[in-house]
Amino acid sequence: MICFITSGAHKYAVRELRDVPGMPKIGLLSYNQLLRKSALPRATYVFTDFDRIDFWQRELAAKAYRCLKAAGLTVLNDPAGVRTRLPMLKRLKADGLNSFSVWDPEVDPMPDAYPVFLRTRAAHRGALTDLLATPEAAQDALDGLIAAGHCRSDLMFVEYRSEPVEDGLFRKLAAYCVGDRIVTGMSVHDTDWHAKYGTEGAASEALYREERDAVQENRYAAPLARYFQAAGIAFGRADFTLVNGNIEVYEINTNPNNSRILDHPFAMRVDTDALFHQRLAEALQAVDTPAGGPPVALDHPDLAAQRKRDWLLPRPRWTP
C-alpha cells in the first residue's frame, strides 16, 4: 500500500489515483489523523501539502517521517527538508535553473525587474493581479491586496517569464517525480498567460501531437531531475513552460490533482493521457511496500507528548 498524508480538506486529489488502472492500493491519512496515532501499518508513506499545514504540524510530521525511515520503510518528501514555493523559486534562480526572480514583500526591497505579478505563497489561486509594469503599480497592487485582507506574509512578487507557443496561445507543461523516476505529464493550453486551467478548444491537433510525442519520449525527465532535487521533493508535479527553449519551473505541487482525460475531441489526447497515467502507476508500483509485518511505532517523545495533549479532543473519522 502507498499512503498519502495530506491536509484534511485536500484528500480529493489523491482519491483520483484509485481509479487509474494498474495503480497500487492507495491509502489516505490527514495530518491530524497521523498525529493521533501511536503506530502505523507497514506501507510506503508520501508526505504532501506542506503549504497547507502550520509549522508545528510540519515539525511533528518530520518526527513521524524519521520514525518510519528508521523502520526501513520507503518514505517520500521529508517535511523538514522540502522547500515551499517562495524559497524553492529563490533557490532555482540562485542555482541558475530558472531565469526569473521572486521577491518577499516582508523582507525584500521592491522588485528591480518588470513586469511582475502578485500571488500567494501557499494558496493555489494563481495570479492575484494583472502584469504590473512599474514600481508604482506594484506598490499600489500590494497595498490594495493588504487593504482587502490578504496577509503580507503570504504574498510574493513573481517576475513574468512566459512566451506564447503560438500567437495568442500559452502552454503549461507538467512532469511528476516519484522517487527516482520522473514522468512527463499532460499540458494545459490557454489564451491567457496564466495558463492555469486551460481553454477548451484552444489548441490545435499539431500541439496535441507534440504533447503525445513528449509523453512517449518522456522528454523532460532528465532535465527536471535537478529541479526536484533543488526543491528537496521526491513526490510532486512540476508545472513549467519553455521560454527560448529553456525550462522555467513555476511551482512543484506535492498534492496535485490527478484527473484523467476520458473524452476529448482529439482521440489521441485520451490515448496520451492513458499512457501518462500508466507510467505514473508504474512509478508508484516501483515504490510500493507489500502488506504485512508488524506496525511501526511513532515513538518519538514529541509525538507522544502531542498525543497526550490531544486525548480529550474528538477523534477524526478514518478515511481508508
Give 319's pLDDT tier (boundaries 50, 70, 90).
Answer: low
How far apart are alpha carbons 48 and 255 in whole angstroms? 6
pLDDT tens digits along 227-239: 999 999 999 999 9
pLDDT tens digits along 294-315: 999 999 999 999 998 876 455 5
Which of 259 and 45 is assigned the larger pLDDT?
A: 45
Q: Are 300 and 64 in contact (CB under 8 A)?
A: yes
221 CB-near residues (< 8 Å, 6+ apart):
175, 181, 182, 183, 184
Lowest-pLDDT range of 36-45, 52-61, 94-103, 119-128: 119-128
pLDDT at 320: 53
pLDDT tens digits along 203-216: 999 999 999 999 99
According to DSSP H, which parts of the chain are helical? 12-15, 31-34, 55-70, 85-94, 135-147, 205-217, 221-231, 267-286, 301-310
At CA 222, angle to CA 214 and CA 79, rounded to 5? Answer: 110
Which of 258 and 34 is assigned the larger pLDDT?
A: 34
pLDDT at 8: 86
How far apart are alpha carbons 252 and 168 in whole angstroms? 26
Residue 114: beta bridge partners? none
**Does the pLDDT value for residue 33 go beyond 60?**
yes
Under DSSP, the state recorded for 109 is: P
pLDDT tens digits along 104-126: 999 999 999 999 999 999 888 88
Under DSSP, the state recorded for 75 is: E
Residues composing the chain: 320
CA nearest neighbour of 284 among 235, 223, 212, 217: 235
Q: For 217-230, what is the mean pLDDT? A: 97
Amino acid in position 317: R
pLDDT at 121: 93
Average pLDDT over all residues of the chain:
94
pTM over 0.85: yes
pLDDT at 55: 93
Q: For 185-193, what is the mean pLDDT? A: 93
Give 199's pLDDT tier (boundaries 50, 70, 90).
Answer: confident
**Residue 75 to residues 72, 122, 136, 280, Cα–Cα distance (Å):** 9, 23, 47, 17
Q: Are 183 and 251 in contact (CB under 8 A)?
A: no
| Phi, then psi, of 46 in degrees rounded to 5 | -125, 115
Which of 309 and 171 is assigned the larger pLDDT?
A: 171
Under DSSP, the state recorded for 203 is: S
Amino acid in position 296: V
pLDDT at 201: 79
**Residue 134 to residues 32, 100, 163, 174, 233, Cα–Cα distance (Å):** 44, 17, 20, 31, 35
